[in-house]
Amino acid sequence: MKQIRTDLAMESSEAAGCIPGVSIASWEESGVLITEVVIETEESAKNLSKPMGRYITLECEGVRTRDPMAYDALSSILAEEIARLLPPDENRTPALIVGLGNRMVTPDALGPKTIDHVLVTRHLINELPDETDERLSSVCCICPGVLGVTGIETMESVKSIVSAVKPRVIICIDALAARASKRVGVSIQLSDVGIQPGSGVGNHRRAITKEELGVPVIAIGMPTVVYASTIARDALYLMSEGEAEEEMLDKITKTLFENEIGEMIVTPREIDDMIEDAAGLIARAINISLQDRLSQSELDGLLKR
């Protein structure tokens, strides 16, 4: 099944089954199912087509029915998990939040829409360092746009801003592709490995990683789509009870999708609401984890919505 595309390490490891060099753990907390995949060796990384590192997936049933309680539980646990990956906040060195993707393409707009809800403070702290509440952590944001719209590689933009802002950490938010449609709009993946080439709905072409940028890169993503060819291949695979040959799968998939207007995706009909909800949830978790010296009501007051 090597041609099935997913940005979730959890799904890659599920498909691969039990392999050496990959440790998997899962547990529940306040109704949220947490799965941690650690890819420990170069070989297992190669097997799963995902770099070595730690991947945490959060899932919560209530999100399917848009239960407000589920959103609260999920964002609180996401905040805790982000906090675990943050380097210490010293000398008010800023965190840089990067909203990847294209605001004008709904399935790819998760990153820019999350940025709309992040509490930004760097300019206040820089201007009036003595008058700004010292408990505020310094935060700034960019939406670099996508290559087809700007003519500039995302990595080029991020690298140049990083050299100007010199952040202590980068948090990238991106719309992902899943293998299973049931994870669309429901699962959140958090990892310490940054963004890989070819990942995301917008298909990044160069890595956005600590190796490239010299700063830890936390990646937060939510699947917003499944590629249509994945659905077809999975249907075929299930039918053949695992006996299908790659070649035949390719041929049938090609027949189904020839002559389309663009790359076909599978997504919920209510994709606009799904993206808005997810953007609010992820931004809330980022705000809580970065501004951990403020109470929730102080935070709400500063956000003013």
Residues numbered 133 to 162 that lie near its own copies (CB under 8 A) are 138-143, 145, 147-153, 156-157, 159-161
Only segment of 3-11, 61-69, 77-85, 209-217 that touches its own copies (CB under 8 A): 61-69
Query: Which of 104, 246, 293, 296 is in the footprint of its own copies by CB under 8 A?
Result: 104
Only segment of 17-25, 35-43, 76-84, 223-231 that touches its own copies (CB under 8 A): 223-231
Q: Measured from the CB atom, is 51 or 94 closer to its own copies?
A: 94
Instruction: Show Cβ contacts of residue 127 under 8 Å, excluding neighbours closer than 6 positions.
Output: none
- Is residue 266 within the footprint of its own copies (CB under 8 A)? yes
CA–CA dist 192, 202 (Å, integer)? 20
Query: If binding means CB under 8 A, how many residues of this protein chain bind its own copies?
Result: 87
In the DSSP assignment, the letter for residue 195 is B
Please answer whether residues 53 and 192 qualify as being in contact, where contact means their C-beta atoms are separated by less than 8 angstroms: yes
CB of 167 to its own copies, least distance (A): 11
Query: Which of 21, 49, 256, 292 is in the footprint of its own copies by CB under 8 A?
Result: 256
CB of 271 to its own copies, least distance (A): 6
Query: Which of 52, 106, 206, 212 is in the footprint of its own copies by CB under 8 A?
Result: 106
Burial profile 105-129: b = 16 or more Cβ within 10 angstroms, e = fewer: ebbbbbbbbbbebbbebbeebeeee
- Is residue 15 within the footprint of its own copies (CB under 8 A)? no
Query: Which of 2, 17, 18, 68 is in the footprint of its own copies by CB under 8 A?
Result: 68
Instruction: Show Cβ contacts of residue 229 under 8 Å, excluding neighbours closer than 6 positions.
Output: 253, 256, 257, 264
Rounded (10°) angle between helices 246-257 and 228-239: 130
For the record, the structure tokens of 218 come out as 């936390």
Which residues between 72 and 101 bind its own copies (CB under 8 A)? 94
Which residues between 160 and 189 bind its own copies (CB under 8 A)? 160-161, 163-165, 181-182, 184-186
CA–CA dist 188, 170 (Å, integer)? 18
Only segment of 6-14, 35-43, 190-198, 231-239 that touches its own copies (CB under 8 A): 231-239
Which candidate, 28, 29, 24, 3, places its Cα nearest to that of 14? 24
For the record, the structure tokens of 161 come out as 């801003």
- Is residue 257 within the footprint of its own copies (CB under 8 A)? yes
CB of 164 to its own copies, least distance (A): 4
For the record, the structure tokens of 255 come out as 């027949």
